[in-house]
């Protein structure tokens, strides 16, 4: 361990006695404890005999507790607003360096987006009463809507944040109806009202027109400068109802988030619906019927802060020696031993919209990667995991995601947080095959797609998933947007004007066309002003075929794909061209073919490496040269017959990378 040798003075860290030498971890621990003691909790604290200070929040009845979340379209300022609220309540200091404090993941900092909902508890005094307020900052991208839905289950109200310069966008509409469906109180707030391009009056009218919320009830703030921030929490206290439940009822809690810590195991974030829980209590999981002893309870402030107990209406974490990641089930109900309760509704499982294969570059890393995927899916329960085997890539997993951004973020987290070296295949969507005997099967990998004979004899129809999409953009881009939808096999349902200059279009689109380049084309054709959101739209009959890639007549299963018949020719030619660029030349010709339904749709040839066998012929009859060339040709035929083409990992990486551009 590296040690930082420098004296820590009593004035700086309040350490009595002579100067001492501490290693870096000890210095940080002491500094953290001092910062903790300086925070204004407005609560009593005690020492539970274990040397760790615990905060007593039992003095806050449900009437003085508020649980709310912040929902918005991506990049409308949710995390910045959360920073200002944390500063206002003294949870973090006003240093001017607070930027997305609740975005704790490295991938969030690098990309500048929120991908994981984070909770933070605040203490605030309003009209002489002290309140415990729990804030949940949620993602804004459609691919992480499951995070939003789980967060709303722990709240009684929400702040709907809208950028005053950009106005209502697609995810704004989706999130509003998600909160409305949960029966939550919605507080609309306009952010960035101090920008030169802001149009708060027009945006407020959009909110009134789209959501039937009076324009004069909308708060105007600037999260970056702090303008109007002091009106937010009073509005939360006055408009959002307190949580229901009773301290006298048996303990009942909803598990809505989990993460893994290598020192204490699984940490569970719970919303307490009834009763209370403290260290030493015995609790039971209703999902697995497993009993646990509570090791610690606490709140996120915004880091884990131990408390003496958690009571009805409060949101906090519980550690209970849960060592295996398979024991935690999001949506589970917990209760005290010998005090059974009725199960809470829980959550509807996330429905994977995109599937992709994940394989280790080095086969020896399979077990370690398996453990890493289990730990990461504990923190992201919307990912589905199934093991699969590829003839070209070996053992791996077929993972299901909510979208392509979700898939890319998961890959980046695996590489950065767990040092995984992986290959991820091109995304596919789940198809359905309906047979003539009435049975229906799901196709998650191209390898499961029926052969040509089975398709002709036994299959009644093939179906692909569709989405109900919402597009919002300025009026002048209506033509290009409608053309974009129709060229991607979309069906326009209706379009309406949400104000004098913005249009909202609703249409049905094949999910397979969404996961490619649809979003990039939308931004390009609308010059960045368009926004897009979608939800599951069921399955429709479609003319699907399986396109295979053949190298010298041998199929490469990792490059096979299922697609609509109209896309086969263009996709096949493009795939053959890319493979020709990345496959190294051999001592024999390599024929690259793409085929569908037994018919070749495109072909490229990687020419052989040839020795100049006629170099030693300085003259003489031409038959001498032809004899040498024919002898070389026969040798090449024998070599091609017995030789095999090995497609290197670099070729897969290059093809997949180009496919995602």
What integer pLDDT is reported at residue 31 of this predicted model?
43
For residue 37, what is the enclosing H or E element? helix 24-38
Contact yes or no for 356/427 (Cβ under 8 A): yes
Q: What is the pTM of this model?
A: 0.75
Is 134 or 50 the better-scoring residue by pLDDT? 134
Residue 115 to residues 32, 52, 563: CA-CA distances in angstroms? 27, 32, 30
What integer pLDDT is reported at residue 53 of this predicted model?
65
* HSE-CB of 285 using CA atoms within 13 angstroms: 22
Residue-wise pLDDT for 45-75, tens only, equals 454 444 456 778 888 999 999 999 999 988 8
Average pLDDT over residues 242-250: 92
Identify the bridge partners of residue 502 per DSSP, sorted by sequence position: 474
| R_g of the chain, CA atoms, integer Å | 30
What integer pLDDT is reported at residue 239 of this predicted model?
95
Average pLDDT over residues 584-613: 84
What integer pLDDT is reported at residue 13 of this predicted model?
37
Is 187 or 651 the better-scoring residue by pLDDT? 187
Q: Can you tell me the distance from the alpha carbon of 474 to that of 398, in angstroms, rounded to the nearest whole number?
A: 40
Contact yes or no for 568/574 (Cβ under 8 A): no
What integer pLDDT is reported at residue 480 of this predicted model?
92
Q: Which two tokens stand for residue 51?
A: 């040397």
Is 10 or 347 the better-scoring residue by pLDDT? 347
Contact yes or no for 85/77 (Cβ under 8 A): no
Instruction: Give all strands (DSSP E) within 22-92, no chain letters.
Output: 44-47, 53-56, 65-72
**What would the DSSP string read from start to end of 183-200?**
T-EEEEEEE-TTSTT--H
CA angle, corner 60, sides to 58 and 66, nearest 5? 130
* HSE-CB of 471 using CA atoms within 13 angstroms: 35
What integer pLDDT is reported at residue 647 of this predicted model?
66
Identify the bridge partners of residue 151 per DSSP, sorted by sequence position: none
What integer pLDDT is reported at residue 593 of this predicted model?
92
Q: In a 10 Å sphere around its CB, with 0-12 CB exposed, 13-18 middle and 19+ buried, how is residue 419 labelled?
A: exposed
Average pLDDT over residues 591-617: 83
Average pLDDT over residues 331-346: 90
Q: Can you tell me the distance from the alpha carbon of 465 to that of 210, in angstroms, rounded to the nearest whole number?
A: 28
Please report which confidence band the pLDDT of residue 637 belongs to, taking 50, 70 and 90 as the band edges.
low
φ and ψ of 602, to 5 deg? -155, 150
Residue-wise pLDDT for 475-524, tens only, equals 999 999 999 999 999 999 998 888 788 899 999 999 988 887 788 888 88
Please report which confidence band the pLDDT of residue 21 belongs to, taking 50, 70 and 90 as the band edges.
very low
Is 414 or 47 the better-scoring residue by pLDDT? 414
What integer pLDDT is reported at residue 192 of this predicted model?
94
Q: Can you tell me the distance from the alpha carbon of 376 to that of 397, in angstroms, rounded to the nearest whole number?
A: 14
Q: Can you tell me the distance from the alpha carbon of 231 to that of 222, in angstroms, rounded to the nearest whole number?
A: 12
Identify the bridge partners of residue 364 per DSSP, sorted by sequence position: none
Contact yes or no for 481/492 (Cβ under 8 A): no
Identify the bridge partners of residue 292 per DSSP, sorted by sequence position: 283
**Which residues neighbour 348 within 8 Å (Cβ) at sequence distance 6 or greater?**
none
pLDDT cut 70: percent of the chain above it: 86
Q: Which two tokens stand for residue 187?
A: 């507080």
């Amino acid at each position: 361990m590296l040690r930082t040798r420098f004296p820590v003075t009593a004035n700086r860290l309040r350490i009595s006695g002579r100067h001492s030498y501490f290693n870096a971890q000890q210095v940080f621990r002491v500094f953290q404890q001092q910062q903790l003691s300086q925070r204004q909790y407005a609560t009593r604290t005690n020492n539970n005999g274990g040397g760790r200070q615990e905060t007593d929040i039992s003095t806050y009845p449900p009437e003085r507790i508020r649980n709310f979340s912040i929902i918005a379209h991506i990049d409308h300022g949710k995390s910045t607003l959360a920073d200002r609220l944390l500063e206002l309540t003294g949870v973090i200091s006003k240093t001017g360096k607070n930027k997305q404090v609740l975005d704790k993941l490295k991938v969030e900092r690098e990309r500048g987006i929120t991908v994981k909902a984070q909770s933070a508890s605040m203490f605030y005094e309003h009209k002489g009463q002290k309140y415990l307020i729990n804030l949940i900052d949620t993602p804004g991208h459609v691919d992480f809507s499951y995070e939003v839905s789980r967060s709303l289950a722990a709240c009684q109200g929400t702040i709907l944040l809208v950028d005053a310069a950009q106005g209502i966008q697609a995810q704004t509409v989706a999130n509003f109806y998600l909160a409305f469906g949960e029966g939550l109180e919605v507080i609309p707030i306009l952010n960035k009202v101090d920008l030169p391009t802001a149009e708060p009056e027009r945006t407020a009218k959009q909110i009134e027109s789209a959501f039937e919320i009076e324009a004069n009830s909308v708060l105007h703030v600037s999260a970056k400068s702090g303008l109007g921030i002091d009106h937010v929490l009073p509005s939360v206290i006055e408009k959002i109802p307190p949580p229901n439940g009773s301290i006298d009822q048996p303990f009942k809690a909803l598990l809505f988030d989990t993460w893994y810590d290598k020192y204490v195991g699984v940490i569970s974030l719970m919303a307490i619906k009834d009763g209370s829980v403290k260290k030493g209590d015995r609790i039971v999981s209703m999902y697995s019927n497993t009993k646990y002893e509570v090791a610690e309870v606490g709140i996120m402030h915004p880091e884990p802060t131990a408390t003496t107990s958690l009571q009805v209406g409060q949101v906090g974490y519980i550690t209970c020696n849960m060592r295996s990641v398979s024991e935690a089930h999001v949506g589970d109900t917990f209760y005290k031993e010998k005090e059974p309760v009725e199960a809470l509704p829980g959550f509807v499982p996330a429905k994977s919209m995109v599937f992709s294969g994940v394989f280790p570059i080095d086969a020896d890393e399979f077990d370690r990667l398996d453990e890493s995927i289990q730990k990461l899916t504990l923190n992201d329960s919307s990912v589905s995991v199934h093991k699969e085997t590829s003839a070209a890539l070996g053992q791996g997993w077929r993972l299901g995601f909510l979208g392509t951004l979700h898939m890319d973020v998961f890959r980046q987290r695996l590489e950065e947080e767990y040092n995984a070296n992986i290959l991820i295949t091109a995304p596919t969507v789940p198809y359905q095959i309906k047979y003539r005997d009435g049975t229906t099967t799901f196709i998650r990998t191209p390898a499961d797609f029926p052969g040509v004979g089975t398709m002709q004899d036994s299959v009644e129809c093939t179906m692909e998933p569709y989405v109900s999409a919402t597009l919002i953009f300025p009026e002048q881009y209506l033509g290009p947007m409608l053309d974009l939808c129709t060229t991607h096999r979309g069906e326009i349902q209706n379009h309406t004007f949400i104000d004098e200059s913005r249009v909202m279009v609703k249409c049905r689109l094949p999910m397979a066309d969404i996961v490619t380049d649809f979003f990039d084309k939308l931004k390009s054709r609308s010059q960045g002003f368009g926004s897009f959101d979608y939800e599951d739209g069921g399955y429709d009959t479609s003319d699907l075929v399986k396109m295979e890639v053949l190298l010298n007549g041998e199929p490469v299963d990792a490059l096979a794909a299922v697609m609509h018949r109209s896309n086969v020719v263009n996709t096949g030619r493009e795939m053959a061209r890319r493979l020709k660029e990345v496959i190294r030349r051999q001592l024999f010709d390599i024929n690259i073919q793409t085929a569908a339904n037994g018919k070749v749709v495109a072909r490229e040839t990687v020419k052989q490496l040839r020795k100049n066998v006629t170099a030693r012929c300085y003259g003489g009859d031409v038959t001498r040269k032809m004899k040498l060339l024919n002898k070389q040709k026969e040798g090449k035929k024998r070599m091609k017959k017995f030789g095999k083409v090995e497609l290197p990992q670099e070729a897969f990486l290059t093809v997949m990378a180009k496919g995602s551009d």
